[in-house]
Each structure stands twice: as C-alpha cells, then as structure tokens.
Chain A
Amino acid sequence: MASLDARPAVGGVAPGLGSVPFILALIVAAAAIFGAGKLIGNSYAFFAGYVVVQYIVLGTAWNILGGYTGYVNFGVTAFFAIGAYSTVVLYKLVPALPLPLMIVVGGVMAGLVGLGTGYLTLRLRGVYFSIATLALAVVVQTLITNWDFVGGARGAYVLRPRNSPILGGEYMQYLFMVMLGLAVVVLATARAIERSTLGYGFAAIRDDEAAAEASGVPTLKLKLIATTLSGGFMGMAGAPLPYYVTYLDPSSGFSLNYAVNAIAMPLIGGTGSWLGPVVGAILVGGLQEYIRVTISSAINVLVVGVLMVGFVIAAPQGIVGLFQRKR
C-alpha cells in the first residue's frame, strides 16, 4: 500500500516546494480565487464557493486521521456540529466576538471531544473507534436536541450581519474569505505533517501498527494527536456554518450529507497526500452543485454515495493515484 502512495521515502529529500514557499503559494491561490469571486461579483458564486472550500477543509481534516493513519472517523457530523453549535452559544452570550475567535473556540471544543473519544477507544482495534464515532454522532445530536439554550429541536436563528467587516461587500464575501483562510491553514498543516516525523509515524501506524509499536513508535500518542487535530479542524469548518445558513436545527446540522461528503471526497481524490481531498472536494463539490441546480438535490447526494462506493472498489488510490500510476 505504501509503495503506491505519494509519500517520500523516509530520510529522503521530499520533492516539491519547501514549507514557506508552499504556504505563500496557497495564500496567493486563495487571494486569486477571492479576487476572481469579487470580479464575478455574483453572490451565488460566493455561496457555492463557500460550500466547496468548506469541503476542502472538512475532507482534509478527515484525511489527517483517515488517510494518514488509516483510522476511519464516521462521526464527522458530530465534530462539525460541535463547531457550529459552539458558535451559536457564543453568538447568544457574546455576539460581538469576531468570527475568527469563534472558529478557534469551536475548533478547541471539537478537538477535545476528539481527544476524549480517541482516548477511550483507540487502544483497541481500529473498528471500535469507527463504531464509537458513528454512535458519537447520534449522541451529540441527542444532547443538542435536548439543550433548550441552543434552540433544542426547534433550532436557532443567527442574524448574519449585512456587511463584511473588512474589504467591503456583503458579509457572505467575508465568510468565503474566512473559509479560504481556514483552508490555507489546514492544507499547510496537512502538508507539514506529511513531511515531518509525525507523518512518518502516522504512515507506520497505517501500514503496520504492530510493527510500528514494536519499533518504538508511540502509536497511542500519535493517534491521539491525529484525532485531536482532525476533530479540531472539522469543528473549525463547522463554526461559520450558523452565519452561512442563518437558521440551524439539529436535523440539518447533523445531516449525514456532511459525513458522506467529507469521507467520499478524500477517497475519490486520493487519501495518500494533501492534494487528494482538494481534488475530490473541487470535483465532487462542483459536480454536486451542478446536479443540485440542474436536476435535484436528492439525486446529488445519491451520486456522491455511488461515486464513493465505485471508487473504493475500482480505484482505491483515488484520482491522484490514477495519475501517479500512469507516470
């Protein structure tokens, strides 16, 4: 499995850009995308773009645990919704708090839940962790549904400010910009992990956990780091959601679509490197948006499920893997 992945050999020089130029390139790309959006000047472009970038963040966050260590987190909605609902709580308590701070709080909350779940289940076989995360999504939804302060089953309204606090324009543009910034942070982190000893540790766990443990890799510690980071980033991706939808209720915040998309996109794009989730999110997110507008929104989620099953059966290395094999 490792031989097919886009992973530099241990001790070898990693190909491509160094970390600082890579981050600069990401920032330039993000700025260019934002500038292009401004030029189009259509608010639909920002609404649609936000969803795709949100899935880049969500998919990359899932991939840090799923793709790098091989542990499958099905509870994406739990972490995502913890981020979203911590924003709802903060909105009710301190409405003046700037959005980036809310994102940090949401990320910390989700990261802590990830750490706790991981601590209780990661000492066992990987499937138990996956099952626990599936159940976690149900239990967090139960808690939120029973919590009147955040609206309970009725849901909560969040007023979206009219104007962006910086650079002018509508608030939606600000949300898009914040999400782009988050994508830069997450992608830079993911790529830095791939090239660090942390990444080699993760890969060792994925390929043969027993051998890794025997060679002195602190597997539990590394798995907990991955779970916390991954959960935290998912929470961050969810934190701006209340401002995007303006009305959040448990059944939409915990929609299975988020989990399926976040898992399908890295699997379709390729789980070996940071590029896979990006490719997957852009292709699948774009396709979904296209189908949603032209055919129907029920079909578009079905397409993602079918694509995911098709890819795991026929192209286990994803789109990125297909291109690497041909090279």
Chain B
Amino acid sequence: MDVSLDLLINAIVSGLLLGGFYAAVSIGVAISFGMLDIVNIAHPAFILLGSYVAYIGNTYFGIDPILAAVILLPAFYALGMAVYQVYHVAFERRDDQSLRGLSFFFGLLFISEVSLVLAFGVDYRSVQAPYIGPSLDLLVIQLPWRLLVPFLVAMAMVVGLQIFLSRSFIGRAIQAVAQDQLALRLMAASPVRIKRIAFGLSFATAALAGAVLIIIQPVEPSIGREYIGRIFAICVLGGLGSFGGMVIAAMTLGIVENLTSTFFGPSWAPAVSFGVLLITLAVRPSGILGR
C-alpha cells in the first residue's frame, strides 16, 4: 500500500479531532464510573437520546443542534438525578450494585434503544448546520468544520467541568465523594445529594455529546452500542477519575482508530477499542495516569 505523508498527517490530525469528540462522549462516564463508582453502561443510550433531541430541534424548529442540546440540558440533568435516585434506593442501599445494578442499566440501555426505534425507526438521521460540509485548509492539512466544532465543544466541556470540580464547593465535594464518604458527611455534606448532583451532571454531558455525535455522523438507534467499548476503553486507559488522562486516552484512541480505518478499512475500526481495552486491563488496569 502506498502510504503518502499527506495521508498520514491528515489521518493523525483528524484522529486528534475525533479523539476530542470521544472525550465529550466519555466525560459523563468519567464522572459516573470514575468518581461515583456507578457503572452506567446505559450512558451511550442517553447520548443517542441527546442526538435525537438535537435532531428534533434542528429538523422541526430549525435551531442549531448544539443550541437544542443546551436548551435541554436542565431536562437531562433532572433525568439523571431521577435515575440516580432509583439506583440509590434499589441497589446502592441494598449493596447490590454488581449483578442487579448493572442489569438495571443494561435494561435502561435496551429500553431507550427500543423506544427510539419505535419512535423514529431504524433509518439514519442527520442534522443541517452551516459548519457541516466546508473545511478549514492549512497547507496540506484539511480540517473539516464538522469535526472541528465538536472538538471545540468537547474541549469547552472538559475545561468547564474541570474548573467546576476544582473550584466550587460542590465540585470539590464530588471529588471527595470518590475518596471518603464519611469525611464528606463530617463536612456537613450529604454524599447521596452530592452523588445525585454529579450523576445529573454526567447525564447533562450526554445531551451535548449527543448533539456533537449527530453533527459528526448520521445516527440510528443501535449506534450507541459501538460507543460502549470506546467509552470504557477511554476511561480505563485514562485512569479513573482523571480528566487529563481521559483526554489523552481519547485522542490516542481517535488516532489509532483513524489510522486503522485509513489503512485497513473503516469496518475494522470498532475492533480497535476492544483491543485497547483488553490490553489495558491485562497490562495496566490503573490506566496511563492512574493513581
């Protein structure tokens, strides 16, 4: 195969952008799994819900997909708090997170997917926006705006959440909940309330991630499953509870996947994340920047 330098550079650069988008998709799980120890495998399904929200807002009301997601952020936040409440009462308090708690999220994933199929069918849906189509040319590098915009949104989300988590009282309490719940209670903060807020936040990120997903590619209800492997590969590789590690892991995976689909064909890309996940789990389960 003729490997030209241009092709290689373009694959790496768009891999970086794709990785930024993967960071947006994974940040919700980095919060729920990494900080709250709640294995929300249904997260991709809620991202798709966000995609369809953006689709409805864009197609029927003609608003920008990202704006549509922003408008519905509070609704996703509330939904996340409700899901956490059920999870807490039914599983966390009974100390039955592993078997039934996981199955609960698996059930949610399935219900959400089937409901989307019933509502929208299995056809691919996409959105219209001025930045879908043109690209920014820098010498030999082509930066498509439909990858650049999600990248920027993702970085804004990561930086914003990082600032919130390290500066505000609630943000610090969320980080504390991962470390010592008893100490948190002694600081007069209820761990359950803090976790509810954090889980709501993790859901809210799904709305934005969904909007950027439908900008990058057309979506259909079962597409979320492809992201489960990716998301958890990124979170595990990045080391749980660290946004910096997660972003590095997301970009690594983006580049490796892009090189794979450039040189071996796009149908092989979904296998990359599983390989990365298995190798990480077998060799270094604490991740690249793990504690």
Contacts and interface: CB of A to CB of B under 8 A. Distances in A.
Interface of A: 1, 66-67, 70-72, 74, 120-121, 124, 126-128, 130-132, 134-139, 141-143, 145-146, 153, 256, 260, 263-264, 267, 271, 298-299, 301-302, 304-306, 308-309, 312-313, 316
Interface of B: 39, 41, 86, 90-91, 94, 96, 98-104, 106-108, 110-111, 113-115, 117-118, 222, 225-226, 228-229, 232-233, 236, 265, 267-268, 270-271, 273-275, 277-278, 281-282, 285
B225 A267 contact: no
Q: 6 closest pairs, A vs B, by CB?
A: A135-B229, A309-B107, A139-B274, A305-B110, A312-B100, A305-B111
A299 B94 CA distance: 31
B282 A128 contact: no
Contacts, number: 130
Nearest to A141: B270
A302 B114 contact: yes
Contacts of A142: 267-268, 270-271
Contacts of B104: 309, 312-313
Nearest to B228: A134
Nearest to B94: A316
10 contacts: A70-B99, A127-B102, A131-B228, A135-B233, A139-B275, A142-B267, A256-B110, A298-B117, A302-B114, A305-B114
Given A135-B273, A146-B265, A312-B90, 16 more contacts: A66-B99, A70-B98, A72-B98, A72-B102, A128-B281, A131-B41, A131-B228, A131-B232, A132-B274, A135-B229, A137-B225, A141-B270, A143-B271, A301-B114, A304-B110, A305-B110
B229 A72 contact: no
Contacts of A132: 274, 277-278, 281
Given A70-B99, A136-B274, A138-B228, A124 B285 contact: yes
Contacts of A271: 99
A302 to B, nearest CB: 5
A142 B100 CA distance: 29
B109 to A, nearest CB: 9
A260 B102 contact: no
A267 B232 contact: no
B111 A302 contact: yes
Contacts of A135: 228-229, 232-233, 273-274, 277-278
Nearest to A296: B118
Contacts of B113: 256
A312 B39 contact: no
B39 A298 contact: no
B105 to A, nearest CB: 9
Contact of A121 (B39, B100, B110, B278): B278
Interface centre among A128, A131, A301 (most CB of B within 10 A): A131
A4 to B, nearest CB: 11
A120 B282 contact: yes
B96 A1 contact: yes
A134 B281 contact: no
Contacts of A298: 114, 117-118
B275 to A, nearest CB: 8
Contacts of A299: 118
Given A146-B267, A298-B114, A316-B96, A308 B273 contact: no
B162 to A, nearest CB: 24
Interface centre among A132, A153, A299 (most CB of B within 10 A): A132
B107 A264 contact: yes
A62 B285 CA distance: 26
A113 to B, nearest CB: 12
Interface centre among A139, A263, A308, A312 (most CB of B within 10 A): A312
Nearest to B231: A131
A309 B114 CA distance: 14
A316 B94 CA distance: 10
